[in-house]
């Protein structure tokens, strides 16, 4: 298993033990993406409070559509799309625990043959093409962005859409101690900006058709508050001796470092929508 898969297995176990407990483990998937603390107002006046709702309200899925949920977590996005539009899809994750839960829910809902969840990477062969490929807060973990984008584009039908939402870096803050710490704590091999995604898309017949900044819609924190939380967690880590607990602390420390990067305008939460064309 990859380091990313192992990390998300540990995080999954922690979430289910301390936050969601039996209710979510037995009955349904649960949210893993950033909520919009400030709702996004669509052109028709509709308010949406998270990325999943933005996707449901923006894109023309139907019962003939197929989709790939690339970095599906426990499957919540896939289940919402299928519930709303009856579209068939595949969800992939490197976390065996996340996939196990998604498969269990699929069976309980009687959705075998309509939704399929697999332990795969971005570079695997999915043996079919899709109308939509969705990657929410997942491609930041791609070891080589170009290879991942190329393979996703390969599995997208002409005219199909690749929908990416992620924490994207500004180049001027790359290779600082803060970004190096973020990579270490979250086991991220590289850091990507919106231009990295756009350039990779251009090289793989993906035309950018929408570029939306969700940063004003998510929560922000004061640097002094973030620094206090970081100091407390790092102190706790000194007196923590099990590998599992240290990894969980690393995830939370990495999360607060991410918050600090947002507070320093070093990160933006952005949605990039590409359409597959003959030539860009």
Q: Residue 115: which of 149, 76, 151 has the closest Cα?
A: 76
pTM greater than 0.85: yes
Domain ranges across the chain: 3-169+189-219+267-276
Q: Side by side, which strands form the sheet with 66-70?
A: 115-119, 88-93, 66-70, 130-136, 156-169, 267-276, 206-213
pLDDT at residue 61 tops 70? yes
Q: What sign has the CA pseudo-torsion 24, 25, 29, 35?
A: positive
Report the pLDDT value the prediction gives residue 15, as an integer from 0 to 100.
76
Question: How many Å apart are CA 162 and CA 152, to the nearest integer?
Answer: 8
Q: What is the mean pLDDT of the chain?
A: 91
Angle at 97 between CA 95 and CA 98, to 5 degrees: 70
Question: How many Å apart are CA 141 and CA 158, to the nearest integer?
Answer: 26
* 3-169+189-219+267-276 CATH: 3.40.50.150
Report the pLDDT value the prediction gives residue 176, as an integer from 0 to 100.
83
pLDDT at residue 21 tops 70? no
Report the pLDDT value the prediction gives residue 172, as an integer from 0 to 100.
66
Predicted confidence band at 112 (pLDDT cuts at 50, 70, 90)?
Answer: very high
pLDDT at residue 174 tops 80? no
**Residue that wins the pLDDT comparison between 199 and 29:** 199
């Amino acid at each position: 298993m990859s380091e990313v898969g192992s990390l998300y297995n540990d995080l999954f176990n922690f979430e289910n033990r301390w936050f969601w407990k039996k209710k979510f483990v037995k009955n349904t998937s649960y949210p893993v993406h950033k909520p919009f603390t400030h709702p996004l107002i669509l052109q028709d006046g509709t308010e949406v409070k998270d990325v999943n709702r933005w996707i449901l309200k923006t894109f023309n899925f139907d019962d003939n559509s197929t989709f790939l949920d690339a970095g599906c977590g426990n499957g919540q996005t896939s289940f919402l799309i299928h519930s709303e539009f009856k579209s068939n899809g595949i969800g992939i994750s490197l976390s065996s625990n996340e996939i196990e839960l998604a498969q269990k829910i699929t069976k309980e809902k009687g959705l075998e043959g309509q939704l399929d969840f697999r332990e795969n990477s971005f570079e695997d062969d999915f043996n079919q093409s899709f109308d939509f490929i969705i990657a929410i807060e997942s491609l930041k973990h791609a070891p080589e962005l170009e290879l991942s984008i190329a393979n996703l584009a390969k599995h997208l039908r002409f005219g199909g859409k690749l929908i990416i939402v992620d924490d994207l870096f500004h180049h001027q803050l790359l290779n600082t101690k803060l970004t190096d710490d973020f990579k270490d704590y979250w086991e991220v091999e590289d850091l990507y900006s919106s231009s990295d995604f756009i350039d990779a898309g251009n090289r793989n017949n993906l035309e950018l058709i929408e570029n939306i900044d969700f940063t004003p819609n998510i929560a922000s924190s004061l640097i002094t508050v973030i620094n206090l939380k970081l100091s407390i967690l790092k102190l706790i880590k000194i007196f923590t001796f099990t590998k599992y607990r240290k990894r969980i602390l690393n995830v939370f420390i990495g999360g607060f470092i991410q918050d600090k990067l947002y507070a320093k305008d070093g990160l933006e939460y952005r949605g990039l929508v590409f359409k597959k064309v003959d030539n860009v």
